[in-house]
Structure 1
Amino acid sequence: MRDFSIRTATLDDLDGARVVMLDTVYRDFGTGYIPRWHRDIIDLQGAYLAPARHTLLVAVDERNGAVVATGALDSRGPAHPPNPRWLAERYPSGETAQLRRVYVRPEHRRRGLARQLVGELLDFAAAEGGYRAVYLHTDPAVPGAEAFWRSLGKVVCDERQEQPDGGQRIVHFELPIA
């Protein structure tokens, strides 16, 4: 990993981070950009750089300066709807650090970038203080996503089991604060 550095994103990194994120929602999720789900991608500065207790990290290929992976954290818990009410109550905004946009370009996967990003996001949450839980959700249809998150945290809600005839088909996790 010596050819990569992970750092807090600057204004100069935002276009590269946005490209990684949009490529992911189009290629891996197959949804494309959906404003109610992906609005933060368009305004990364407003979502992650400006607010206190939020951050956006980028992994940069030192050989060419390209952003190859992203990871973000904010203080917003899961909303109801679309998430189950009990989940939103368990992880309230302000007390919950939510991991978001942990995405790695396909050609850079399997190098430990996502694991390192998550570690630094957990360190950020611990250093900020005031968070009692770290939460995230993932789409288990994305290859490798569910196994990756299971290796780091515990499942608190698997909507595939709770709502077999509907729902979002999302798996929700809690990770330990560093």
Structure 2
Amino acid sequence: MRDYCIRAAGPDDLDGARAVMLDTVYRDFGTGYVPRWHADIVDPVAAYLAPERHVLLVALAPDGGEVVATAALDSRGPAHPPNPRRLAERYPSGETAQLRRVYVRPEHRRRGLARRLVRELLEFAAADGRYRSVYLHTDPAVPGAEPFWRSLGKVVLDERKDPATGQGIIHFEIPMGR
């Protein structure tokens, strides 16, 4: 397997990281850029680089060094609304490491890259010492997303089975593995 370089994003990585993230929301999600959902993509410095307990990782391709994948972690739990109140209460901000933007360019998928990125995010969360849980949500319409996250964690709410929630996403808790 070709070896990818995974590192915390720096200023020189931000354009490439934005490109991976924006391409994903347009191609895989079909939503395009939605400011209330994707503001962190436009300003990753404020979302992930400046806050002490947040991180944005990038994976660089072995042949050329361009950013081909991203993964982020922040200390914001799921907000209510739009998420159900019980999730916001179970995963409060400050105590919850939320995984975000785990995106891999299609031509670099199926090489274990997302799993490596998640492992590094979990190590970051454990080293912080103040996170008590790791949470994420995913859109099951994205090819491969649901089985990938099921292989790493447990479903805490599948909105497809709870019509009152209305978003159709799946919420997961991932063991931190301290």
Q: TM-score, normalised by structure 1?
A: 0.97
| Matches of 2:124 and 2:47, distance apart in 1 | 16
Q: Which amino acid aligns with 2:176?
A: I
**Could you tell me which residue of structure 2 aligns to residue 175 of structure 1?**
174
CA shift, 1:2, in A, is: 3.6
Percent identical pairs in the alignment equals 77
| Matches of 1:113 and 1:45, distance apart in 2 | 23
| Matches of 1:2 and 1:107, distance apart in 2 | 13
| Matches of 1:93 and 1:13, distance apart in 2 | 27
The 3-state SS of whatever aligns with 2:134 is strand
**Could you tell me which residue of structure 1 aligns to residue 91 of structure 2?**
91
Q: Which moved more, 1:101-110 or 1:56-65?
A: 56-65
The 3-state SS of whatever aligns with 2:168 is coil
Q: Is contact 1:91-1:133 (8 Å) kept?
A: yes
Q: Which amino acid aligns with 1:134?
A: V
Unpaired segments ≥5 residues, structure 1: none
Q: Structure 1 residue 122 and structure 2 residue 126: aligned?
A: no
Q: Which amino acid aligns with 2:173?
A: E
Unpaired segments ≥5 residues, structure 2: none
Q: Which amino acid aligns with 2:19?
A: V
The 3-state SS of whatever aligns with 1:18 is helix
Q: Is contact 1:100-1:136 (8 Å) kept?
A: yes
Q: Structure 1 residue 81 and structure 2 residue 84: aligned?
A: no
RMSD between superposed Cα atoms in Å: 1.0
**Could you tell me which residue of structure 2 aligns to residue 103 of structure 1?**
103
Q: CA-to-partner distance for each residue in 1:84-113, whole Å, 9 max, x for gaps? A: 000000000000000000000000000000
Q: Is contact 1:159-1:169 (8 Å) kept?
A: yes
CA shift, 1:65, in A, is: 1.4
Runs of 4+ off more than 4 Å? none
**Could you tell me which residue of structure 1 aligns to residue 162 of structure 2?**
162
**Could you tell me which residue of structure 2 aligns to residue 13 of structure 1?**
13
The 3-state SS of whatever aligns with 1:160 is helix
**Could you tell me which residue of structure 1 aligns to residue 51 of structure 2?**
51
The 3-state SS of whatever aligns with 2:92 is coil
CA shift, 1:3, in A, is: 3.2
Q: Which amino acid aligns with 1:26?
A: Y
CA shift, 1:77, in A, is: 0.1
Aligned residues: 177
CA shift, 1:129, in A, is: 1.0
